[in-house]
């Protein structure tokens, strides 16, 4: 044995050198006046800058219709950074240095002339890389994606790799389509002007540290992966609950609902990472191949099977954390007779060798008692002898919970003997917490995603076939619900864990929801 390796040493292993060698890059943000830009994108870029992770030099150009100067836009962004930055205080000297790289280009997305101006702005730089290494962030309405990409192409700013655009990339925000057909159309439009390798479709859940850790947890440990199959797992529950209502986003939500807003993307992404087979390598395409394969193995739910496998819900007035919340139908920009779902619960089966017969329960909702995202893998109970025979239903079976947010961590629940002279058993918990192990460093998802896009690594982005396969899964559900009136069992008061029908869905197979717990 290598003498230098002490048995108990924490061997850490680097897959990179800790610092990417990034080429200088110009980032153009379409939708510069939008909420996402000031709340997420600029704070993320600022943090990357102060950590020294952005390439040197770099440029950020904001593109939008409103009349602004470089300085007035910078002032707006500085203001927003004060409110939304994850580090409480903003270092003014650093901000000045960062802001000096930011400029504003006023223009109309539909006007090819405006793109000529953008081209001039980009080319004015005397750094060759800044003129050719271009990242276009489409933080705009999905109805404008195709036109912007076409205008970029016509103005020569976005070329295919074989035509000189090897370093031209486009980041596309969600929602990517509203159903399979619209997603296919959008893909076809984008493909007219760029190659799949140049398109980075965002699902910000993939930028979360804990979501990335799912693959590390599964494939860098030998003890858990052996249990990860139908022989030992009884059911899996994936919960993404939110304790806020739709707030000011009623207009958007009326068009999307929880199915399109959360299930088609975030929940199915988490599910695919939890259930996929080991990829042949850690390369982007190997990982994405396995995710698509998994999504394809999900047993389709036909329209006439929706009622028995999927539950929708809509919140009525109620109280969340001591605060009164209005009914969804009374939110701003929501129709008073809206049938849009603010809650979805569903049971999926994965028809492959590993998971056949294991139910995967997915649920998400607004105005639930707690904001928490977690994956709970519930194991089968022990044979009906010894303790189980004596305890009847009172002996809990083991579970591993991957807590994605907040209070990020992983816990294993198993039974133990309560100390004392009597014979009493109860579940105990072994817990790994990110905070106590690594300190409170949890970078924003957008930081990681922007950095990966700058580096041209697509692992954390959604591939064309992936987005389409996900729509194929949810489309029949959306169609079955479309404008169908809600029945009494489909409402839930704000502050509760969803409609009664969701409990009945699990009861069909003798299961019950395990609600996330606040962890202090
Ligand atoms: C977004 C949805 O994609 O994700 C929102 O549009 C939702 O409705 C949000 O609130 C949840 O993200 P997070 O990171 O807060 O869990």
Q: Domain of 95?
A: 25-201
Query: Is 515 one of the catalytic residues?
Result: no
pLDDT 10s digits, 391-413: 877 888 999 999 999 999 999 99
CATH number at residue 124: 3.40.50.720
Residue 342 CA, ligand 1 centroid: distance in Å: 12
Residue 241 CA, ligand 1 centroid: distance in Å: 10
SS3 at position 495: coil
Question: Residues 211-233: what's their mean pLDDT?
Answer: 96
Domain boundary among 150, 175, 201: 201
Residue 281 CA, ligand 1 centroid: distance in Å: 30
For ligand 1, atom 8, name the residue with the nearest CA.
261
Residues 249 and 297 in one domain: yes
Residues 86 and 129 in one domain: yes
Contacts of 454 (CB under 8 A, 6+ apart): 22, 25, 27, 54, 55, 135
Number of domains, the chain: 2
Would you place residue 116 in the very low, low, confident or very high pLDDT band (cuts 50, 70, 90)? very high
Atom of ligand 1 nearest to the CA of 265: 3
Residue 5 pLDDT > 60: no
Residue 484 pLDDT > 80: yes
- Of these residues, 168, 204, 266, 431, which one is catalytic? 266
Residues 321 and 421 in one domain: yes
Give CA separation, 233 vs 373, 419, 512, in Å. 20, 29, 15
The candidate with the shortest Cα–Cα distance to 273, out of 206, 337, 354, is 206
Give, for 234, the enclosing helix (H) or strand (E).
strand 233-241
Residues 338 and 435 in one domain: yes
Q: Tell me, using a 6 A CB cutoff, whether residue 261 lines ligand 1.
A: yes
Q: What is the 3-state secondary structure (H, E, C) of 304-333?
A: HHHHHHEEEEEEECEEECCEEECCHHHCCC
pLDDT score of 394: 83
Atom of ligand 1 nearest to the CA of 244: 10
| Half-sphere exposure for 182 (CA within 13 Å, toward CB) | 11
**Structural domain includes residue 344:** yes
| Mean pLDDT of all residues belonging to the chain | 94
Tokens of 109: 């997305």
Residue 496 CA, ligand 1 centroid: distance in Å: 19
Residue 261 CA, ligand 1 centroid: distance in Å: 8
**Structural domain includes residue 7:** no
d(CA 210, CA 306): 31
Domain boundary among 135, 170, 201: 201
Residue 8 pLDDT > 80: no
Residues 320 and 400 in one domain: yes
Residue 414 pLDDT > 90: yes
d(CA 311, CA 507): 13
Residue 33 CA, ligand 1 centroid: distance in Å: 20
Q: Tell me, using a 6 A CB cutoff, whether residue 242 lines ligand 1.
A: yes
Residue 37 pLDDT > 80: yes
Opening angle at CA 464, ends 461 and 466, nearest 5: 75
Q: Which of 15-24, 292-301, 355-364, 502-511 has the lowest mean pLDDT?
A: 15-24
Contacts of 226 (CB under 8 A, 6+ apart): none
SS3 at position 151: helix
d(CA 273, CA 402): 12
Q: Which of 261, 365, 370, 403 to mutate to test the pocket of ligand 1 (most atoms within 8 A of CB)?
A: 261
Residues 171 and 280 in one domain: no
Q: Which of 207, 208, 262 to mutate to test the pocket of ligand 1 (most atoms within 8 A of CB)?
A: 262
**Structural domain includes residue 74:** yes
Residue with tokens 């099977």: 305
pLDDT 10s digits, 259-289: 999 999 999 999 999 999 999 999 999 999 9
Give, for 28, the enclosing helix (H) or strand (E).
strand 25-30
Residues 218 and 283 in one domain: yes
CATH number at residue 283: 3.30.360.10
pLDDT score of 13: 84
d(CA 479, CA 481): 5
Q: Are 232 and 225 in contact (CB under 8 A)?
A: no
Residue 109 pLDDT > 60: yes
Atom of ligand 1 nearest to the CA of 174: 3
Residues 398 and 489 in one domain: yes
Q: Are 233 and 227 in contact (CB under 8 A)?
A: yes
For ligand 1, atom 10, name the residue with the nearest CA.
242
Q: Which of 266, 341, 371 to mutate to test the pocket of ligand 1 (most atoms within 8 A of CB)?
A: 266
Burial tier of 433 (Cβ tally within 10 Å: 0-12, 13-18, 19+):
middle
Would you place residue 17 in the very low, low, confident or very high pLDDT band (cuts 50, 70, 90)? low
Residue 85 pLDDT > 90: no
Burial 26-60 (b: 16+ CB within 10 A, else e): bbbbbbbbbebbbbbbbbbbbbbbbeebbbeebbb
d(CA 271, CA 268): 5
Q: Are 515 and 238 in contact (CB under 8 A)?
A: no
Rg (C-alpha) for the chain, rounded Å, is 25
Q: Are 320 and 493 in contact (CB under 8 A)?
A: no
For ligand 1, atom 13, name the residue with the nearest CA.
205
pLDDT score of 271: 98
Residue 93 CA, ligand 1 centroid: distance in Å: 33
Domain boundary among 201, 225, 256: 201
Residue 6 pLDDT > 70: no
| Long-range CB contacts (within 8 A, 24+) of 94-102 | 94/46, 94/49, 94/50, 95/46, 97/49, 98/45, 98/46, 98/49, 98/50, 99/74, 101/57, 101/58, 101/59, 101/60, 102/59, 102/60, 102/61, 102/62, 102/70, 102/73, 102/74, 102/77
Residues 274 and 404 in one domain: yes
pLDDT 10s digits, 145-176: 999 999 999 999 999 999 999 999 999 999 89
Residues 195 and 214 in one domain: no
| Parallel, antiparallel or unpaired: strands 409-417 and 399-405 | antiparallel
For ligand 1, atom 5, name the residue with the nearest CA.
261
The candidate with the shortest Cα–Cα distance to 64, out of 56, 73, 55, 75, is 73
Residue 443 pLDDT > 80: no
Residues 191 and 223 in one domain: no
Tokens of 136: 């276009």
């Amino acid at each position: 044995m290598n003498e230098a390796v002490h048995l108990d040493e924490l061997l850490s292993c680097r897959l990179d050198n800790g610092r990417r060698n990034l080429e200088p890059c110009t980032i153009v943000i379409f939708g510069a006046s939008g909420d996402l830009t000031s709340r997420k994108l600029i704070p993320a870029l600022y943090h990357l800058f102060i950590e020294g992770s952005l390439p040197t030099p770099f440029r950020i150009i904001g593109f939008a219709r409103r009349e602004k100067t470089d300085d007035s836009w910078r002032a707006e962004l500085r203001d927003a950074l004060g409110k939304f930055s994850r580090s409480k205080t903003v270092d003014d000297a650093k901000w000045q240095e960062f802001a000096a790289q930011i400029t504003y280009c006023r223009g109309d997305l539909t006007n090819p002339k405006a793109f000529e101006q953008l081209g001039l702005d980009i080319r004015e730089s005397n750094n060759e890389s800044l003129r050719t290494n271009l990242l276009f962030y489409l933080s705009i309405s999905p109805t404008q994606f195709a036109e912007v990409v076409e205008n970029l192409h016509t103005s020569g700013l976005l070329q295919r790799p074989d035509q000189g655009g090897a370093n031209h990339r486009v980041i596309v925000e969600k929602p990517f389509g509203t159903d399979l057909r619209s997603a296919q159309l959008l893909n076809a439009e984008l493909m007219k002007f760029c190659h799949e390798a140049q398109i980075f479709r965002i699902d910000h859940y993939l930028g979360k540290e804990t979501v990335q850790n799912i693959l590390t947890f599964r494939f860098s440990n030998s003890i858990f992966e052996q249990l990860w199959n139908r022989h030992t797992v009884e059911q899996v529950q994936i919960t993404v609950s939110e304790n806020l209502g739709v707030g000011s986003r009623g207009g958007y939500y009326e068009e999307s609902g929880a199915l399109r807003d959360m299930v088609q993307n975030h929940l199915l992404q988490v599910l695919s990472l939890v259930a996929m087979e080991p990829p042949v390598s850690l390369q982007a395409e190997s990982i994405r191949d396995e995710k698509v394969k998994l999504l394809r193995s999900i047993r389709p739910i036909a329209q006439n099977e929706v009622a028995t496998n999927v539950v929708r819900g809509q919140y009525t007035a109620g109280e969340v954390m001591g605060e009164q919340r209005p009914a969804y139908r009374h939110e701003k920009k929501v129709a008073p007779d809206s049938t849009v779902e603010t809650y979805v619960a569903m049971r999926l089966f994965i028809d492959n060798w590993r998971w056949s017969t294991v139910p995967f329960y997915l649920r998400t909702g607004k105005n639930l008692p707690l904001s928490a995202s977690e994956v709970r893998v519930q194991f089968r109970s022990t044979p009906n002898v010894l303790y189980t025979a004596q305890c009847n239903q009172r002996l809990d079976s083991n579970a591993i919970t991957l807590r994605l947010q907040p209070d990020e961590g992983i816990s294993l629940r198993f039974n133990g003997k309560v100390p004392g002279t009597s014979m009493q058993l109860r579940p105990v918990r072994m817990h790994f917490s990110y905070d106590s192990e690594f300190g409170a460093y949890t970078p924003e998802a957008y930081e990681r995603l922007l950095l990966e896009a700058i580096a041209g690594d697509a692992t954390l982005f959604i591939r064309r076939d992936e987005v389409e396969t996900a729509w194929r899964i949810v489309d029949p559900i959306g169609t079955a619900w479309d404008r169908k009136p809600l029945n009494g069992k489909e409402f839930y008061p704000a502050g509760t864990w969803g409609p009664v029908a969701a409990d009945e869905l699990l009861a069909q197979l003798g299961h019950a929801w395990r609600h996330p717990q606040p962890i202090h």
